[in-house]
Structure 1
Amino acid sequence: MQITVNGSAREIDVDEQMPLLWVLRDELKLTGTKFGCGGGYCGACTIHLDGRPTRACLTPASFAEGKQITTIEGLSENGDHPLQQAWIEHNVPQCGYCQSGQLMSAAALLATNASPSDSDIDGAMTGNLCRCGTYPRIKAAIKTAATADNGEEA
């Protein structure tokens, strides 16, 4: 089957039911998407599927055929996405394990809502668990990135 990942068509020979997470990590060697819980609860495996945040651990490879997949590696070629810059500015990561999923959920939010309220951010980020508890810094970074995208001062 053929899937499109970060703008590149990729031919894969896997069982149609293989979770997309394992296709990305094991077959395509895109290891930025993390395995957390395997049940879609933690959000560490969040990717974009046609621009929507999606749990890769629950998504069969066959479901991705014909859709655009974006992983953390595809968020920005140079790590200069406004969210990535804001993450650094606000010193968001501690252990860092959940961060790719956090960033992908935040990027999906900002793609559809350039000026999210606190409740918009809370709603979009629900289900992305951070065992280090950096939620206040995550929210601050999202707000900073939103103002950067709008050309406003943070």
Structure 2
Amino acid sequence: MGDTIEKVSIIVSKGSLEGIYPALIMANGARAEGIEANLFFTFFGLDAVSKRYHEHIKVATVGNPGLHLATLIGGLPGMPRLMTRYLERKMDKLDIPPIPEFIEMIADTGAGLYGCKASCDLFDLTKDDLVPQVQDIITVGDFYQLAAGGQIIYT
């Protein structure tokens, strides 16, 4: 076996269900293995920690090749809600929590959650607009310092 991973820093850049969950699952798994984990929410990934949006994340059905749906079908009214409900039911059976609960669980394990300053500035967001589990809004330079000596994962 090679070296063990001691720290991961995960960049969350997408604001869809299938864009956010992989990062949360990886961070949760890292913490369960005793690995230090930090999540850096940037661009639309900020929706995962936005008080306004974190309870309303949907599956992206248009142009999502993983769904194996024609773009025309994915664009039908109600399709994002239908696919989101379908996946939420399947995840519930697997005991995968909803995003707000998952964020809280991960923060409770000691993982760091941070908003990207440039993205927050772009979308006029302050720390008050984000869920309380977000420790701070930091610059990319701060993120690199935080990630130093560990692995960076981009989702």
Pair in the same fold by TM > 0.5: no
Q: 1 or 2, which has the higher helix percentage?
A: 2
TM tier, smaller: under 0.3
**Higher-RCO chain (CA-CA 8 Å, sequence separation at least 6):** 2
Give the TM-score normalised by structure 1.
0.26
